[in-house]
Amino acid sequence: MQACAPCHGANARGRGPVAAALVRAPADLTSLRARHGAFPRDELVAVLSGEREIPDHGTREMPAWNQRFAARGAPGVAAVYARRRLELLTGFLESIQNEDAGSEATPVQ
């Protein structure tokens, strides 16, 4: 979550210290399940990894975390390390879902 906090905030609600400087407000990551009807695990991994872009973002402001995570892995296992980090991050985001959220949340397209 440390990597997400500058934009999404320490509480993951989209109000990080650099959020005001972005073209589009960061999503409230605690309301993903409420806004999608179910936790969008596969879609989230695709967005975080850079495999899928969010159309409303225009240019990609959010880093492709698989590339950043792979740079920290040992040679030969960097891709596996990066994928595991994405899975752990996605699992964490699933664990912080607020079932009452969504009505006031910033939509994710």
pLDDT at 85: 86
Per-domain residue ranges of the chain: 5-95
Residue 58, phi then psi, degrees to nearest 5: 70, -115
pLDDT at 50: 79
Q: Which amino acid is at 63?
A: P
Q: Per the structure block, which two tokens stand in for 90?
A: 């996605």
- 21-34 mean pLDDT: 92
Cα-based distances in Å from 20 to 14, 30, 44, 100: 10, 19, 23, 25
pTM for the whole structure: 0.74
- 8-15 mean pLDDT: 94
pLDDT at 107: 46
pLDDT at 103: 47
Q: Per the structure block, which two tokens stand in for 69?
A: 């995570």
Residue 43's contacts (CB-CB under 8 Å, 6 or more residues apart) are: 36, 52
pLDDT at 108: 46
In degrees, rounded to 5, the angle at the alpha carbon of residue 59 between the alpha carbons of residues 56 and 65 is: 95
Measure the CA–CA gap between 85 and 68, rounded to whole angstroms. Answer: 10
DSSP one-letter string for 65-89: HHHHHHTTSPTTTHHHHHHHHHHHH
pLDDT in tens, 50-106: 788 776 555 556 666 666 676 676 777 877 888 888 899 999 999 999 977 554 444
- 18-30 mean pLDDT: 90
